[in-house]
Chain A
């Protein structure tokens, strides 16, 4: 359990909060580059860490990220005209460039213009890996971009999607690192019940997850603190003489890499607080060795795994709280645990059902929650260290993100740490 004070410290990320200050020390995914497809295209709203911002791509292709509200009379710049290297407020014509400088103030008589004294809030941006990243922290402490594998593979080796979740970021991260829920929430009924039909179907499978994941519903967790965050190893019984090991990477401040055996596409997430009660869920599928396969694309199109279709205007999933995630109770009776289609919607349904901000003083945890406990403890340490003046190490050392998740079958007498060393380094 957490105390009320600890829960508040971890979950509040607005301006002036300790966790907010911590997130602001990192480059954060803000929007997909494709949301600003061309120079002078329409601006888009970006809400991140409780701040309402507008992103626009100027005439020279540079991306600006500025306060949504014009400093003149607080009209929204979403209605602005993106033209000739700036975003012009349509209320009185004030125009701002990507640095936030007010470059024109046409409504004031020339002798009264003071635009050279006006700036709006503007945050630096970088384009990297198909994403526009933003840094909302102190200008004197600009961090490094994370050297994270999915951002560095060729474009046709990756697919990235983004959706809005109506819960605090932390319970979403916890879902991402908790391997044990996958035996239940994401299981078919045949797998959950370990029917003869299921065993027969997976008997000769080369897919370790299909074959072994579901058979041991009580995995053993170990955690290891790393420069980038946490390496979370989960051991399940496989054959009589083997264990099925899965290693999830948790990378600060809020990324995961889902375990996958070598050769298959890897999946991962990044969660960015939108405000205290909503978050952005970024979803990445990538293959370091080859373009995504037809099976990968099928899974993406059919929303079977981490990606979900969204309303393009709001980025809210089409399966959402208002329509009960399109639950099919017949499916729930006969086919899968939830009756909800796709891992993304299943996760979202349960995480949103916990309330906008989970009251962790009321939890009843056990030893299977080790990974979650480790992540919370690490984040609390990091946030408190920053309060004491210590800058986050990972933010300033992008190289530490050059890792990968892993899944492997090992003889029971073989230590996982040594065997996995070759598997967990990124290779692109």
Chain B
């Protein structure tokens, strides 16, 4: 696991979330946390667009969207392992 590597975020699939969670668990330095924050920002953006474009109720995606937001804030607070644990509840 190389926390200096930025996960490619193209979707909000379990594989993407698992990859970010694994990186979170290995992240300790300022730079690593910045990369994790950018990954979570990307997931939050994608889920936000998905929710805006899909009028049918998407409770699961809405829950994911909100959870990623909380994980993002945990990273900002310097708590990556808690953020990882939160992401893993979605898997």
Taking a contact as CB atoms closer than 8 A, the residue among B31, B44, B49, B73 that contacts A223 in the complex is: B31
Residues facing A in B34-51 (CB within 8 A) are 34-35, 37-39, 41-42, 44-45, 48-49
Contact A366 B42 (CB under 8 A): yes
Contact B45 A365 (CB under 8 A): yes
Contact B45 A373 (CB under 8 A): no
A299 contacts partner chain B, Cβ-Cβ < 8 Å: no
Residues facing A in B61-82 (CB within 8 A) are 69, 72-73, 76
Residues facing B in A364-422 (CB within 8 A) are 364-367, 369-370, 373-374, 377-378, 380
> In the complex, which residue of chain B has the Cβ closest to the Cβ of A369?
B38
Given contacts A3-B73, A377-B76, contact A364 B49 (CB under 8 A): yes
> In the complex, which residue of chain A has the Cβ closest to the Cβ of B6?
A367
Contact A367 B39 (CB under 8 A): yes
B26 contacts partner chain A, Cβ-Cβ < 8 Å: no
Contact A373 B37 (CB under 8 A): yes
Contact B72 A1 (CB under 8 A): yes
Contact B41 A373 (CB under 8 A): yes
B17 contacts partner chain A, Cβ-Cβ < 8 Å: no
Contact B31 A224 (CB under 8 A): yes
Q: Report the minimum CB–CB distance from A336 to chain B (whole Å).
A: 28
In the complex, chain B residues whose CB is within 8 Å of the CB of A370: 6, 34-35, 38
Given contacts A6-B76, A366-B42, A367-B9, contact A222 B37 (CB under 8 A): no
The answer for the CA separation of A378 and B33 in the assembled complex, in Å, is 11
The answer for the CA separation of A363 and B72 in the assembled complex, in Å, is 14
> In the complex, which residue of chain B has the Cβ closest to the Cβ of A2?
B76
Contact A373 B38 (CB under 8 A): yes
The answer for the CA separation of A221 and B31 in the assembled complex, in Å, is 11
A181 contacts partner chain B, Cβ-Cβ < 8 Å: no
> In the complex, which residue of chain A has the Cβ closest to the Cβ of B69?
A1
A residues contacting the other copy or chain, number (CB 8 A): 21
In the complex, chain B residues whose CB is within 8 Å of the CB of A3: 73
A225 contacts partner chain B, Cβ-Cβ < 8 Å: yes
> In the complex, which residue of chain A has the Cβ closest to the Cβ of B29?
A225
The answer for the CA separation of A333 and B34 in the assembled complex, in Å, is 38
B19 contacts partner chain A, Cβ-Cβ < 8 Å: no
Given contacts A1-B72, A364-B49, contact A377 B33 (CB under 8 A): yes
Given contacts A3-B73, A6-B76, A364-B45, contact A222 B38 (CB under 8 A): no
B18 contacts partner chain A, Cβ-Cβ < 8 Å: no
In the complex, chain A residues whose CB is within 8 Å of the CB of B48: 364
Q: How large is the interface on B (under 10, 10 to 19, 20 to 34, 35 or more residues)?
A: 20 to 34
In the complex, chain B residues whose CB is within 8 Å of the CB of A380: 76
In the complex, chain A residues whose CB is within 8 Å of the CB of B35: 367, 370
Q: Report the minimum CB–CB distance from A229 to chain B (whole Å).
A: 12
In the complex, chain A residues whose CB is within 8 Å of the CB of B86: none
The answer for the CA separation of A374 and B48 in the assembled complex, in Å, is 22
Contact B38 A367 (CB under 8 A): yes
Given contacts A3-B73, A377-B76, contact A367 B34 (CB under 8 A): no
Given contacts A366-B41, A369-B41, contact A374 B73 (CB under 8 A): no
Contact B42 A374 (CB under 8 A): no
In the complex, chain B residues whose CB is within 8 Å of the CB of A221: 6
> In the complex, which residue of chain A has the Cβ closest to the Cβ of B72?
A1
The answer for the CA separation of A339 and B44 in the assembled complex, in Å, is 34
Taking a contact as CB atoms closer than 8 A, the residue among A1, A222, A367, A378 that contacts B44 in the complex is: A1
The answer for the CA separation of A220 and B38 in the assembled complex, in Å, is 13
Taking a contact as CB atoms closer than 8 A, the residue among B31, B33, B39 that contacts A222 in the complex is: B31
Q: Report the minimum CB–CB distance from A205 to chain B (whole Å).
A: 31
Contact A377 B37 (CB under 8 A): yes
In the complex, chain B residues whose CB is within 8 Å of the CB of A369: 38, 41
The answer for the CA separation of A223 and B49 in the assembled complex, in Å, is 28
Contact B31 A365 (CB under 8 A): no
In the complex, chain B residues whose CB is within 8 Å of the CB of A225: 29-31
Given A3-B73, A364-B49, A373-B37, 4 other A-B residues pairs in contact with their CB atoms under 8 A: A367-B8, A369-B38, A369-B41, A374-B30
Residue positions of A touching B, CB distance < 8 A: 1, 3, 6, 220-225, 363-367, 369-370, 373-374, 377-378, 380
Ordered by A's residue number, 30 sampled pairs between the chains whose C-beta atoms are within 8 Å are A1-B41, A1-B72, A3-B73, A220-B6, A221-B6, A222-B31, A223-B31, A223-B34, A224-B31, A225-B30, A225-B31, A363-B41, A364-B44, A364-B45, A365-B38, A366-B9, A366-B42, A367-B8, A367-B9, A367-B38, A367-B39, A370-B34, A373-B37, A373-B38, A374-B31, A377-B30, A377-B33, A377-B34, A377-B76, A378-B30
Query: Lowest 3 A-B CB distances belong to which pairs?
Result: A364-B45, A365-B41, A374-B34
